[in-house]
Amino acid sequence: MKVYIDGKFYDSKNAKISVFDHGLLYGDGIFEGIRAYNGRVFKLKEHIDRLYASAKAILLEIPMTHSEMMKAVVDTCRRNKLMEGYIRLVVTRGVGTLGLNPNRCEKPSVIVIAGKIQLYPKEMYEKGMAIVTVATTRNLHNAVNPAIKSLNYLNNILAKIEANNAGVEEAIMLNSEGFVAECTGDNLFIVKGRQLLTPPLSAGALYGITRGTVMDLARQSGMEVLEPNLSRYDLFNADECFLTGTAAEIIPVVKIDGRVIGNGKPGPATGQLLQRFQELTRRTGEPLR
């Protein structure tokens, strides 16, 4: 595997950063997870747009233009002959001192890794998954805003640990008001009749690229798409539930906190949206060939 670091490619065993990089020392940086399908990078522009939005929020000046960043991603995929897979794009504050002051970091560092990922077992996509609500509260907007896709994912990891301890793969995180925010690494949707509902971004949900894509596909299919505050009660009484994410794609949920959702099987709306999503990934994106 060849890894892109600041304009050069390195073998994976030689792809290294400094121990004084503030991305390592303090989680001071941002990232994107991107997918390639059928020789195309899916929603690359949208991912790069979100990367630069995260950078602006933390006052991090990326030393590359938007088009140069897109080219770095495409070149890394080509160098690794990756036609289907997962791309991790990371921008750190760069090398600094042991102190917190970000102004001591001379230049941000850009890293692109292109490889494979399998987030959940195949049978979960076919039969659905069980998830639980955890005690760890989603970050407050005036602390570390959940809209920033930062390298500091400790909030999510603590919730993931609770999921692991409960024997499930994923967990629901509530915000400080007790409303559903998102899962540890995925956005959450429920279906009620012909309505598709998902927590609003103001509740603590990430500006998910797959989230937005699924909402567009649902509208095109004639569903009403709403973003109300959702409680656990709303989830328990949904007809269907599913999660979305770049790595997860669309995965059905059939049990939440011991309550069976719908008839306990992946629902028809989930299946139809997954089919539409897969069709879209096969024919759109930044070409790699």
Catalytic residue selected from 43, 107, 127, 149: 149
Strand order in the sheet with 109-115: 8-11, 2-5, 109-115, 85-92, 29-37, 40-41, 286-287
The predicted-structure confidence for 130-179, as pLDDT tens digits, reads as follows 999 999 999 999 999 999 999 999 999 999 999 999 999 999 999 999 99
The predicted-structure confidence for 199-228, as pLDDT tens digits, reads as follows 999 999 999 999 999 999 999 999 999 999
Is residue 3 over pLDDT 90? yes
Predicted TM-score (pTM) above 0.85: yes
> Under DSSP, is residue 140 helix (H, G, I), strand (E, B) or coil?
coil
Per-residue pLDDT averaged across 176-199, rounded? 98
Which domains does the chain possess?
2-115 (3.30.470.10), 122-283 (3.20.10.10)
For this structure, is 2 an active site residue?
no
The predicted-structure confidence for 242-263, as pLDDT tens digits, reads as follows 999 999 999 999 999 999 999 9
Per-residue pLDDT averaged across 56-83, rounded? 97
What is the C-alpha to C-alpha distance for residues 74 and 62, in angstroms, rounded to an integer? 18
The predicted-structure confidence for 83-141, as pLDDT tens digits, reads as follows 999 999 999 999 999 999 999 999 999 999 999 988 899 999 999 999 999 999 999 99
CB-based contacts of 57, cutoff 8 Å, min separation 6? 145, 147, 148
- State the DSSP string of 31-59: EEEEEEETTEETTHHHHHHHHHHHHHHTT
Number of Cβ within 10 Å of residue 129's Cβ equals: 23
Residue type, 80: N
Backbone φ and ψ of 98, nearest 5°: -75, -10
Backbone φ and ψ of 126, nearest 5°: -85, -40
The predicted-structure confidence for 12-68, as pLDDT tens digits, reads as follows 999 999 999 999 999 999 999 999 999 999 999 999 999 999 999 999 999 999 999
By C-alpha distance, which of 157, 221, 172 is closest to 195? Answer: 221
